[in-house]
Structure 1
Amino acid sequence: MEKAFQYVDYLWDEKKAKSLGDDQVALFLYRSNILGQDLRITNYGGGNTSCKTIEKDPLTNEEVEVMWVKGSGGDIGTLTRSGIAGLYTERLRNLKKVYQGIEDEDRMVGLFNHCIYDLDSKAPSIDTPLHGLLPFKHIDHLHPDALIAVAAAKDSEAVTKEIWGDSMGWVPWQRPGFDLGLQLEKCLEENPDIRGIVLGSHGLFTWGDTSYECYMNSLEVIERASEYIAKKVTENGEVFGGQKVESLPAEERKKKAAQLMPLLRGMASSENQMIGHFTDSDTVLEYINSTDLERLAPMGTSCPDHFLRTKIQPLILTLDSNEDLSNTEEIKGKLEPLFGKYREEYKEYYEKHKHDNSPAMRDPNPVIIIYPGVGMFSFAKNKQTARVASEFYVNAINVMRGAESISAYTSLPRQEAFDIEYWLLEEAKLQRMPKEKPLSRRVAIVTGGAGGIGKAIADKLVAEGANVVLTDISKDNLKEALETYNRDEVATAICDVTKADSIQKAYEEAVLAFGGVDMVIHSAGLAISKSLEDTELSDWELLQDVLVKGQFLMAKKGVEIMKKQGLGGDIVNIASKNGLVSGPNNVGYGTAKAAQQHMTRLLAAELGEDHIRVNTVNPDGVIVGSRIWEGEWAEGRAKAYGIDVKDLPAHYAKRNLLKEIILPEDIANGVFACVGILEKSTGNIINVDGGMANAFPR
């Protein structure tokens, strides 16, 4: 029977749980995954969970207790067996005999490795002793908004007592580590009947004898805190001091955001190029439009998981929501001093709180940017990180709302915040991150991206680290293509490249999805093979519209965005060997392709000063997987060469110097060469045709 909760989701499926039998590790992973699905309970990468089992020691064959706990850098919502660490519980507890105090915390993390039972373990996290020093079989350490609101209230200990009486313990703020584990152990010894512990300014620990009991305990504690806060909000009336700024209508907000985001991205990328995310949810608007925004935002966040991803505080834009953003230089002039001040204040924060062994100062640009009346932007190294930063700041907003409703919100002291942000263990974790891919931090828009050559190009760009916006005239084809990617890699936009308003909308969607555009790949195309006598004016106009006009419109709007960003960029046009080589029954198509090629040269000459490179990739004979060859085009080419349609692939392979069949993936490699390898090349034609001597451009 499903349990009734108002403020959390009860997701336990008894049938699923029974299928796992008595496998306590599997049940712990199941509990972790369903807890991680509810962002009110914990956000991506936040919190950790554990269980303890009896196993046979492979060295002594004796039964020993082993603790299985989420490893460093994992996410409980997606946690699998490979993401956990298995440690001898007794060995971990014996570390108390060698612990020498707070100054010994970093050394203790290295000693966790001496406690490893499972040799396939993920690296143990800093929170490992918090689980190991408590005796319970199943433990949850979570960061629910409601609990952090209680933990961040100025009278947190008294509020904890008011909500739960003697059934919950309370431990004041302390940086995670071995000593915090000792404080939890002490709290339990002094209060043996408690069901959980509130960590000041941090989060929650709950437990149970079984995975299900632990799950229910967590949900019930969070529900009780949520009910308490909801009652306080109702009693207090206005939230965040009431509304100060009125939101623009939804469509206007998105248009404003799309206009401004490339500028913000360029400024936020002064040291490292960033990917963006935008949200204008009701929760965000309530906060950013409030009277208390200017008081609360500079205070910073409280939970370490929050500010590690959002920076200690956001940048608030002083632009009016009704401001005309069309004059780029004027708006840029208003934004640059705001970014400059933020960077300077971050530098002061670093210099004031750094230690002799602190890592070098990191990127001083803001992660969270607030535009009252419009919405909230976040910028980070990739889409997932930017999105997660936004989600964490939404959690922080919920915490502020709750704490303010209870009494008053308190944030971590700046020195405590710095010591976590620049913790040597945190720096070591950053240094272990895998090397970024060649196209990471870059955004591409690909026309005709739902199939054929366009889809192959998108696949290649994504594989090399880029974010890609697929455009196509077919909604169904876009939907089908999107299913082959994860949500943080690719976005889609219906786009008719012959219509300026359709292109405008596609670019707006691209900017809102990822913050801007760095690569414009014009791959949309069609082919008509007819003699001069058979070529109708409608054929000619269609080819000119899709291939030439579409390329012009895509470049025009793309360059506008690239210049706003000031980050340079790439335009790659997919033309054809037919733009260079004369052949029969090809007057419309060949002329359009030649126009594409020369437009590329003209734009390369014009845009070089802006570091926008413009190049052409010339395919030939891409039959397999190419939608151009569906329909009359293949019949026309077969007729021109006096062969059957079925013989076209072999015909095209035989006529090139390498005797190779050209695939869509080959064209994609040509595009990657332009945008990812040939960094000092512009105005060029790369032939991907197996070698056609009559198509050599020089």
Structure 2
Amino acid sequence: MSVEAKTFKYVSYLWDDAKAAALEGDEVALLIYRSNLLGADLRLTNYGGGNTSCKVMANDPLTNEQKEILYVKGSGGDLGTLKKEGLAALYVDRLRSLKAIYRGIEQEDEMVELFNHCIYDLNSKAPSIDTPLHAFLPFKHIDHLHPDAAIAVAAAKDGKKITAELFGGSIGWVPWQRPGFDLGLQLKQCLDENPGIRGIMLGSHGLFTWGDTAYESYLNTLEVIEKCAEYIEAHIGKNGPVFGGEKVTALSKEERLKKAAALAPVLRGFCSSYVKMVGHFTDDEKVLEFINSNDLDRLAPMGTSCPDHFLRTKISPLVLNLAPDAALDDVTAIREKIAPLFEDYRKMYADYYNACKHPDSPAMRDPNPVIIIYPGVGLFAFSKDKQTARVAAEFYTNAINVMRGAEAISAYTSLPRQEAFNIEYWLLEEAKLQRMPKPRPLSGRIALITGSGGGIGKAIAKKFAAEGACVIINDINAERVEVTRNEFQKQFGKDTAAAVMLDVTSSDSVKAAMDAAVLAFGGVDIIVNNAGISISKSITDHSIEEWDRLYDILVKGQFIVSKQGVAVMRKQEMGGDIINIVSKNAVVSGPNNAGYGSAKAAQAHLSRLLAAELGADKIRVNSVNPDAVIADSNIWAGGWAEGRAKAYGITVEELPAYYAKRTLMNEMILPEDIANACFVFVSGLLNKSTGNVLNVDGGVAAAFLR
């Protein structure tokens, strides 16, 4: 069938003939192109899920003979972003020769180390556990995906029968088995017993499809998944309403977000009893259809079927027993209501671990839930970082799609508890976890730095993001917010920063920014009060309006942001940090500085007052006193530079050198210097320090604290 004549309703056909033609003759490049297209459609596979391969002939550098080489997605890669360096390249004949020394399924894990003896390209990615699944099949191009529609068939009670009837015997069936060497042998056996089939369905797991070319494999994959999806959609509603119909009516969008913002910090606190977690919230229509249904209580405890789903989402979700319209203002009452649910979940998880563990199983991991369901409101996911939490929510959404489809055509079946445990606590998975890089100092922490659209604020946000934190970019200037957001996305990826407009003098604006932070990441751990302006005038030239503006932004702004930040931190019960960017002018007296200097002094004392008040909450309050940070700073706008130059009897152009010369170290101060000072306070090395002031001014003797 020609490309033009083929239309798809349930999958995305993305193949571009011109782009593919430019890659003609390079099968590996076509494999990468095909993989990226498949990975771009979350209905086909999630982030990090699935694997693809091709087999090509290449020269053996040792024998100078032509050898068949398998290029397959390596361990830990992602199809949507796959590049050549993410592929493992192995000799096909060596991989297949491992069958002669295979000792059986009880010892199949030992085969993984032997994959290294089959590597062709020594610079390629480490081979994954799925390598033999591609090696034993003879096809040039192979796709192994976890499409919602195909898994719905694979996870249905009558999945094998449905597969045979739907595809007329052209798709084989291999019952559930953990991925590994033995599953590769079973795929080959299935093909040998069913010559001419176009693919194989893996019970509860996923789909294998193939072709002689990259395009044929791509088209075959889409056609098989489309047929599964068509079959499911034709059965939706035939056996009654989806998921048994609606039990709970969803709140309006506005109310859902309001409830989620109020509750997320409380949930994050419970989920962070072992390690600090970052959150993600979704109220996607597919999610709401499931969590508001009559079948939620039956299906949710069953857990997921596909191993990729399960590893991200845990054994089962936690369902909250809160009414959608429950009042959430009384944090103590809500915490008392939720606490028993978490205790029960942790006990369930410990019982599951103890019932299923093997003598050599790794120690029990964090027993807190990853997925939390609030009927009528939405779904929360909590994990070690934003990307992992977001992906967990996406995987659970896929699992919902699977349950929806399986229930429509038959009945949904999940992995038995023991099989699930064997995947979750697989020694190979544990080894992969142990190889992961050590968390960065601010991993799992969320920071809101006011005025982070530029200057000192942006430098602090960049430093924190580089050290692992999630940050909320904000500014009163919309253009600066947008430019900085794009900059962060390019430098750190889409999961590191959220962006909002923020006017620190408006309580409503600050509340909206805090809610945005909570909805984006689950809470707030670090507040940096950095937003500010500078006005340098003599007392007689200084207007009352200018005085009020200084105090509104510097003092009142610090108060409002701190007040609302503390409210979120107290909900979390995880402590936190407030850092106030003050100034050497809070200490040093000078001409033409009555408004700015006295406002900075007020900021400094407010810092000391809050440190005294918040110590019992484990919320540390510290200050950084910069001086003369000129680069990319808003404070030099509006006449400040001219005012200071006039006060010192010099020109504006002479200011940088003047400021450097008056320091003991003869150094100019940069935004990055202030960022480093802020990091010192939140890095974990000063967790028992509060009420401190750190001067970053190159050494101004008059500003020494005494």
Class of the TM-score when normalised by the shorter of the 2 chains: over 0.9
1:567 aligns with 2:574: yes
1:101 aligns with 2:108: no
> Quick one: percent identity of the two aligned structures?
66
1:218 aligns with 2:221: yes
What CA distance in whole angstroms lies between the structure 1 residues aligned with 2:178 and 2:229? 25
Q: Which runs of 5+ in 2 are unaligned?
A: none
How far is 1:681 from its partner? Answer: 1.4
1:86 maps to: 89
1:471 aligns with 2:474: yes
Once the two structures are superposed, residues 259-288 of structure 1 have per-residue CA deviations (whole angstroms, 9 ceiling, x without a partner) of 000000000011111000000010000000
Match of 1:552 among 555, 559, 563: 559
Counterparts of 1:490-569 in structure 2, within 5 Å, are 490-569=497-576
Counterparts of 1:190-201 in structure 2, within 5 Å, are 190-201=193-204
Aligned length: 698
1:331 maps to: 334
1:597 aligns with 2:600: no
1:691 maps to: 699
Match of 1:248 among 220, 235, 251: 251
SS for the counterpart of 1:483 is helix
SS for the counterpart of 1:416 is helix
How far is 1:528 from its partner? Answer: 0.4
Return the letter of the residue paired with 1:261.
A
1:457 maps to: 460
2:496 maps to: 489
How far is 1:237 from its partner? Answer: 4.6
What CA distance in whole angstroms lies between the structure 2 residues aligned with 1:295 and 1:36? 32
Match of 1:638 among 642, 645, 652: 645
Once the two structures are superposed, residues 499-556 of structure 1 have per-residue CA deviations (whole angstroms, 9 ceiling, x without a partner) of 1011111000000000000000011000000100011110010000000000001111
How far is 1:386 from its partner? Answer: 0.1
2:124 maps to: 121
What CA distance in whole angstroms lies between the structure 2 residues aligned with 1:517 and 1:50? 43
How far is 1:678 from its partner? Answer: 2.1
What CA distance in whole angstroms lies between the structure 1 residues aligned with 2:324 and 2:496? 30
SS for the counterpart of 1:482 is helix
1:629 maps to: 636
* Aligned residues of 1:656 and 1:689 also touching (Cα < 8 A): yes
Once the two structures are superposed, residues 315-356 of structure 1 have per-residue CA deviations (whole angstroms, 9 ceiling, x without a partner) of 000011111000010000000000000000000000000000
Counterparts of 1:32-181 in structure 2, within 5 Å, are 32-181=35-184
How far is 1:141 from its partner? Answer: 0.2
1:14 maps to: 17
Once the two structures are superposed, residues 611-643 of structure 1 have per-residue CA deviations (whole angstroms, 9 ceiling, x without a partner) of 100011111011122121123111101111111
Counterparts of 1:244-283 in structure 2, within 5 Å, are 244-283=247-286
Return the letter of the residue paired with 2:271.
A
* Aligned residues of 2:535 and 2:638 also touching (Cα < 8 A): no
Return the letter of the residue paired with 1:258.
A
* Aligned residues of 1:625 and 1:663 also touching (Cα < 8 A): no
1:678 aligns with 2:686: yes
2:584 maps to: 577
SS for the counterpart of 1:408 is coil
How far is 1:206 from its partner? Answer: 0.3
SS for the counterpart of 1:487 is coil
* Aligned residues of 2:70 and 2:92 also touching (Cα < 8 A): yes
TM superposition score normalised by structure 2 = 0.98
* Aligned residues of 1:208 and 1:214 also touching (Cα < 8 A): yes
What CA distance in whole angstroms lies between the structure 2 residues aligned with 1:627 and 1:476? 13
Once the two structures are superposed, residues 471-491 of structure 1 have per-residue CA deviations (whole angstroms, 9 ceiling, x without a partner) of 211222111101112210000
Return the letter of the residue paired with 2:127.
P
2:657 maps to: 650
Return the letter of the residue paired with 1:135.
P
SS for the counterpart of 1:148 is helix
What CA distance in whole angstroms lies between the structure 2 residues aligned with 1:10 and 1:380? 33
Return the letter of the residue paired with 1:637.
R
How far is 1:679 from its partner? Answer: 2.1
Match of 2:212 among 204, 209, 212: 209
Match of 1:586 among 576, 593, 604: 593
1:413 aligns with 2:416: yes
* Aligned residues of 1:657 and 1:690 also touching (Cα < 8 A): yes
Match of 1:25 among 14, 23, 28: 28
Return the letter of the residue paired with 2:478.
K
SS for the counterpart of 1:377 is strand
Return the letter of the residue paired with 1:691.
G
* Aligned residues of 1:169 and 1:196 also touching (Cα < 8 A): yes
Counterparts of 1:416-455 in structure 2, within 5 Å, are 416-455=419-458
What CA distance in whole angstroms lies between the structure 2 residues aligned with 1:509 and 1:363? 28
Counterparts of 1:344-383 in structure 2, within 5 Å, are 344-383=347-386
* Aligned residues of 2:149 and 2:229 also touching (Cα < 8 A): yes
Tell me the C-alpha RMSD between the 2 structures. 0.8
What CA distance in whole angstroms lies between the structure 2 residues aligned with 1:444 and 1:651? 34
TM superposition score normalised by structure 1 = 0.99
How far is 1:568 from its partner? Answer: 0.6
* Aligned residues of 1:279 and 1:375 also touching (Cα < 8 A): yes
What CA distance in whole angstroms lies between the structure 2 residues aligned with 1:378 and 1:200? 27
